[in-house]
Structure 1
């Protein structure tokens, strides 16, 4: 099926998608601030340019959009138009995420992924629930984990739930 937009319109729409200071990043920053944690944002010298870096705990946090990073939740829908294009594009994101996660672990960083569905939408976690899970992971010392609408879960070095 053909794209519903011409090439110029599609290009303009894609350029308009924010890569920093998104609503989900702002919500997570507010949670980290409420927990009185010191953090840096988007350090380009680290693999994957993590959204948040907590040097004191040697951990990084990514906020992943459920569509762009193919999360198995109600926010991810395979597009009906140009399906092969989108699946290839999203597949490359997933591959890059796994590579970046493995590289960060190799460098001695701990990695947490907070999925968009946990931060916004009809099933999002409350601030209290989100703060509890963040604090639990940051202080507990687990190498990798992810937070979604159902809570916090272990994941392997490739970014998949265990």
Structure 2
């Protein structure tokens, strides 16, 4: 996920000022996987899209999507009122990149389950915030 607050639009457009950041949802998921004996590699650059959680033993890549940035369409996924066209373009490009990454992984024979951030919330789930 990217953190781009406080930077001008030109920097954000080029992803120069954006840096990767660990979020609570990612940490919750990873700790649950580890607690259940599943070992993984993080950000394997040999795979398309520098995949998040790679399980070489199972030839699987577990992808965690934040509901806002990947526009899941749930109640927390409202498009901001200002610069609406820019945001819609951003969400669409994220979606297309996600699809391309998934197709490439599937063609290479990897399993690609996707977990949405909202799935970590429920009656028994702890909030990632």
Same fold, TM-score > 0.5, yes or no: yes
| Structure 2 gap segments, 5+ residues each | none
State the distance in 2 between where 1:75 and 1:119 align.
14
Say if 1:47 and 1:100, in contact at 8 Å, map to a contact too: yes
Displaced runs of 4 or more, over 4 A: none
Structure 1 position 116, deviation (Å) = 1.2
Q: Who is 1:63 aligned against?
A: 64
Which structure has more RCO (C-alpha within 8 Å, separation ≥ 6)?
A: 2
Structure 1 position 53, deviation (Å) = 0.4
| Structure 1 gap segments, 5+ residues each | 1-7, 128-162
CA-based RMSD of the aligned residues comes to 2.3
Question: CA 1:96–1:37 in 2, change beyond 3 Å: closer, same or farther?
Answer: same
Structure 1 position 66, deviation (Å) = 0.8
Q: Who is 2:8 aligned against?
A: 11
State the distance in 2 between where 1:47 and 1:76 align.
26
Query: How many pairs does the alignment contain?
Result: 116
Greater displacement, 99-108 / 40-49: 40-49
TM, length-normalised to structure 1:
0.64
State the distance in 2 between where 1:45 and 1:124 align.
38
Q: Who is 1:30 aligned against?
A: 31
State the distance in 2 between where 1:113 and 1:11 align.
32
Q: Who is 1:101 aligned against?
A: 102
Residues 67-105 of structure 1, C-alpha deviations (whole Å, 9 max, x = no match): 111102122111111000000011001001000000000
TM, length-normalised to structure 2:
0.79
